[in-house]
Structure 1
Amino acid sequence: MLKETEIDRFLLMLADYGIKSENEFADSFFGEYEGNEDDVLQQFVQDWCALAKGCLPKQLLKQNDSAKLWHELIQFDFHRFVFNGNTYFFKRNY
């Protein structure tokens, strides 16, 4: 359970990324993953590819590793930050 001060810190972090209202949060939130290591990034990229339309993301995933896809392509569409041991992904354009 989060304390009020932790909630306030989380809201301030969101505001730093331009997310200031409930609607902006709902529109931009992509996912929360436990941890902050490479396995989180790998799971996120797999989830992103599964939800993306068309065959291109699946072909990219087969041809590249998750870290390379993140650095060369996906990071430009998402904010990623770690808070209290969890990694959060928010869409930059919503």
Structure 2
Amino acid sequence: MSGDRRTDPADVMTEEDFGLPTDIFVSRRANSKRGGLHYHRFATAAEAIEFALENYSSARPDDLVMSVDDKRFNLAAVKVMHRRARTLAILADAGSS
């Protein structure tokens, strides 16, 4: 993780980061039908955020990790970023480039 001391994910995530390639890792509980770790790759963080909230919004915060460049965010942080980005219309801009 970077040496950045800011803790608010919306502050750590820059507008340029929304256009970077992004990985999402999702752990499934052992008692679920499909246990294990699931991996998803996206061309942009904007796409990854939309996907995470459409498919995993009810997951536990630490069951999902989004990796952008050298930054890592759990699901709770992704939700915060989504709210802030929606306000700033960043997702629409980054997803269309």
* TM-score, scaled relative to structure 2: 0.26
* TM-score, scaled relative to structure 1: 0.27
More strand by share: 2
Return the index of the structure with the highest Cα Rg. 1
More helix by share: 1
